[in-house]
Structure 1
Amino acid sequence: MEGSEMEQREGCGDSRAGRKRKGLATSVEERVRPEVRSMARPRHGGDVWGYNGIEDYSSNVNPLGAPERLAEYIRDAAGDLINYPDDTASGLKGAIASRYDVPAGSIVVGAGSAELIRLFPEVFISPGDKVVMPKPTFSEYGFACRLMGARMVDHPLREEDGFRVDVGSLINALDRETKAVYLCNPNNPVGRMIGRREVMELVEEAGRRDVMVFLDETLLELSERDQDVTCVHEVESHDNMFLIRSFTKSFAMPGLRIGYGFGSKEVMRFMEAGRLSWNIGTLEQRVGARLMSEEQEHVRKAVRMLVDEKKRMHSELSRILPYRVPLPDSYFFFCPVHPLGVSSRQFRAAMLEERMLVRDCSSFGAPCDRYSRFCVKTPERNEAFLGAMRSAVEKLGTGR
């Protein structure tokens, strides 16, 4: 084959191979894996850095904050930092196993649920594999899959149906080329939840089609429906299923990165093989074990408060806004703002003027760019938030 013809087939002489034949240096971009070249970092809530005196309503964590004894747990754990951490994280896994009444061999831990979100496709997804993803949903899933070269297929959730997942429709989207399907329950950012029966219908049908199911329950533990909905006890008998949870939401400690996942022993064998060594430090292991063993009442107390406050906030929002706001299944609102004549980004700016940070949902794509997400907190904080929203809505209505 003539050199010029080969270069044309490789990209009109601009490929790395073509440049090397010409004695030209390749650029850094040309050395990078194709999957990484066009990647953009996902955007999230909780971006309070750079603001002073701002109340963060954009992130969904325990409104009671971290347990009072957290500082004590950290001090107690800090005395053993001279040694490498236990790479098996046996103490932390044991505490999680006891809390959920599952074998420790069915558990993997990570530096936050984010590490496990990345680890799953690193272990199970190969370049070109088809992955089905509801849209909208948490952006880290798609980011991790694209990084591994997955072929992403969006499964749009219907705005007219309140963005609820239709399991039958999702099952119909699975075909013989599908390697994995993702489900966030309750779904982020829309706050909608489906029951255990529906989730397991998806898992079982996916199993018959040889499809893996990634199930994210990190937002479920602060729901009053947790025990009725969770599928933690289904993972041992379904080897096509991987389920994650996190300390971040239930114990309000995003700054300490502790996540955990459940799967069958066979799934765990490969997840453990693929994970980063010493991924959980001694501090996280010791603190996490004590939180899991000693602070469950802290979580239950928050759930009881959230049930009442969600209803109260919903009632108050109906007085502030000139339209109906959907009552969420979870403890955060996905609120339409386009009837106010503004976008999600513009509403965020208006609330920042009132010293409140809400989630700009534009990063989830249309039609989420017409919605705002904000959480439920304590009664006193919620009063301040509602007052700020009332002021922002009035100013938007007058064009100020």
Structure 2
Amino acid sequence: MKLEDRVRPQIKAMMRPQHGGDVWGKGEILDYSSNVNPLGHPEKLNEYIVQASEGLVNYPDDSSLTIREAIAERYAVAVDNVLVGAGSAEIIRLFPEVFVSPGDKVLMPHPIFSEYGFGCRLMGAQIIDAPLSEENDFRPDMSELIALLNDVKAVYFCNPNNPTGKMAAKKEVLELVAAAAKKETMVFLDETLLELSAKDAQVSCVDSIESYDNLFIIRSFTKSFAMPGLRIGYSFGNKELINYMNAGRLTWNLGTVEQRVGAQLMRNEQNHVKKAVELLESEKVRMYREMSKILPYPLPNTDSYFFFCPLYQLKVKSPEFRRAMLERGVLVRDCSSFGSPCENYSRFCVKTPEMNSRFLEALQETVESLSR
């Protein structure tokens, strides 16, 4: 028997998800493909890391109690409502490991973050796509999602959506959760991009976790504190749900340094996030205004802090546009990995005023070169 004959069929059929932030080996470039805090990480992060690096001779606290307590305080929930992981990516993988069995149907809007489908396919799930209407600017239609919930084990929802940047109101999301509860369907709600939005408090469903036993919400330190190199993600659910997730997670999944640093950031650096939100709201308006002058067609606006820009009238696909911008020292997201029709779109995020001005220069040069 060959080695490949011993491998699970799900593994043999898998292709690794692609993401933004692929800056390695590209020299001096400015990265607009990764949706992180434009102010960078908090000034005291290195100090926190040095302090946290003492006493590493011992294994980490497997319960991650210190950081879970800090998260619970920040969101006014019980510690038992919180589960942490090595980035939201680990928690994304854990959810189907706990709740999805081979042959289960899992519903996802399309396009959406690729790690969800990757984790579900590894467990042998059947992915049911619910295409977001390009004609409706990719805005989610909850009634359409709800109509597809029959015989579905779980439904995924990203708010705001990655890559489209469109956001649903809290009332709409909870309508989906309530409808799914009646069908005994789990709801995986990704709010990792919401924390850098001015609408976070009014849109988040974290305060509803004890009202529904089918609602699971993830967030991350990566976006709000601009630290993808330190892997800290966290999640919320009612106590019974979190108990099941905790039973299935990897032992010592969060290192001592991450636990200590995460607790410090959660307790001491919320003003850093607030300043970033204020900057993003202001710069988003400027970016939209200036890009509307550069692009020879109307640019769809965004509910988030990144743009999902159509390329049809530039007569290029997403990979070609990425290469053209990269020639000018600017990295944008090639969206073709999200599947059709995303090969006709590019995603790029709002940064600081100086970086945004540099982006606008590169965009102007690229549009002019493509128009010749």
**Which amino acid is the alignment partner of residue 130 of structure 2?**
H
Alignment of 1:346-357 (within 5 A): 346-357=320-331
1:108 alignment counterpart: 83
- Measure, in 2, the Cα distance between the counterparts of 1:35 and 1:52: 36
User: Could you say which residue in structure 2 is the equivalent of 1:282?
Assistant: 256
Q: Distance in 1 between matches of 2:308 and 2:88?
A: 22
1:69 alignment partner in structure 2: 44
SS at the partner of 1:109?
strand
Shift in Å, 1:104: 0.4
The corresponding residue for 2:99 is 124
1:83 is matched with which residue: 51, 58, 64?
58
Query: Does residue 38 of the first structure (1) align with residue 13 of the second (2)?
Result: yes
Superposed displacement of residue 392, structure 1: 0.8
Q: State the distance in 2 between where 1:180 and 1:80 align.
A: 41
Q: Which of 233, 237, 245 is the aligned partner of 1:263?
A: 237
Matched, 1:28 2:7: no
- Once residues 281 and 350 of structure 1 are traced to their aligned partners in structure 2, the CA distance between those partners, rounded to angstroms, is 40
Amino acid at match of 1:81: L
Deviation, 1:200, is 0.2
The residue correspondences of 1:216-231 to structure 2 (distance < 5 A) are 216-231=190-205
What amino acid is aligned across from residue 251 of structure 1 in structure 2?
Answer: F
Over residues 308-367 of structure 1, what are the superposed CA-to-partner deviations in whole Å (9 max), with x where a residue is unaligned?
A: 100100000011100111110000000011210100010000000100000000001111
Tell me which residue corresponds to 1:340.
314
Q: For 2:153, what is the secondary structure of its paired residue?
A: strand
- What's the CA shift string for 1:216-245, capped at 9, x where partnerless? 000000000000000001111210010000
Tell me which residue corresponds to 1:163.
138
- Following superposition, the deviation at residue 29 of structure 1 comes to 1.0
Deviation at 1:391, TM superposition (A): 0.6
Aligned residue identity for 1:230:
S
Q: Does 1:237 align with 2:211?
A: yes
State the 1:80 CA deviation. 1.6
The size of the alignment, in residue pairs, is: 372
Bigger Rg, which one: 1
Cα distance in 1 for residues equivalent to 2:233 and 2:63: 14
Matched, 1:194 2:168: yes
Alpha-carbon separation, structure 1, partners of 2:29 and 2:3: 40
Please state whether the residue corresponding to 2:197 is helix, strand or coil. coil
How far apart are residue 264 of structure 1 and its match? Answer: 0.5
Between the aligned partners of 1:353 and 1:338, the Cα distance in structure 2 is: 21
Offset at residue 186 of structure 1 (A): 0.2
Number of the residue aligned with 1:152: 127
Shift in Å at residue 93 of structure 1? 0.3
Aligned to 1:315: 289
Question: What is the DSSP-based 3-state SS (H/G/I as helix, E as strand, rest coil) of the residue aligned with 1:134?
Answer: strand
Which runs of 5 or more structure 1 residues have no equivalent in the other structure? 1-25
Deviations, residues 353-388 of structure 1 (Å, cap 9, x unaligned) = 100000000001111000000000000110011001
The 1-side partners of 2:102 and 2:281 are apart by 44
Shift of 1:151: 1.0
Within 5 Å, give how 1:290-301 maps onto structure 2.
Answer: 290-301=264-275
Question: Could you say which residue in structure 1 is the equivalent of 2:112?
Answer: 137
Counterpart CA distance in 1 for 2:248 and 2:277 is 35
Paired with 2:367 and 2:58, the residues of 1 have a C-alpha distance of: 55
Query: Alignment RMSD, CA only?
Result: 0.5
TM-superposition CA deviations, 1:97-128 (whole Å, max 9, x none) = 00000000000000000000000000000000
Partners in 2 of 1:374 and 1:224 — Cα distance? 19
Q: 2:346 aligns with which of 344, 359, 372?
A: 372
CA distance in 2, matches of 1:27, 1:195: 52
Structure 2 Cα separation of the partners of residues 227 and 244 of structure 1: 15
Instruction: Return the match for 1:173 from 148, 170, 185.
Output: 148
Q: What's the CA shift string for 1:58-86, capped at 9, x where partnerless?
A: 00000000000000000000112111000
- 2-side partners of 1:94 and 1:365: how far apart? 39
SS in 1 for 2:325: helix
Instruction: Please tell me the residue identity of whatever aligns with 1:382.
Output: N
Q: 2:233 is aligned with what amino acid?
A: G
| SS of equivalent to 2:73 | helix
Q: Which one-letter code corresponds to 1:145 in the other structure?
A: C
Question: Which residue is 1:246 aligned to?
Answer: 220
Q: Secondary structure at the match of 1:314?
A: helix
What is the DSSP-based 3-state SS (H/G/I as helix, E as strand, rest coil) of the residue aligned with 1:161?
coil
How far apart, CA to CA, are the structure 1 residues paired with 2:166 and 2:2?
45
Separation of aligned partners in 2, 1:194 and 1:97? 25
Task: Calculate the TM-score normalised by the size of structure 1.
Answer: 0.93
Residue 284 of structure 1: how far off its partner (Å): 0.2
Aligned to 1:15: none
Q: Give the Cα separation in 1 of the matches to 2:355 and 2:214.
A: 42
The letter for the 2-side match of 1:213 is V
Q: Percent identity?
A: 63
The runs of at least 4 consecutive aligned structure 1 residues that moved more than 2 Å come to none
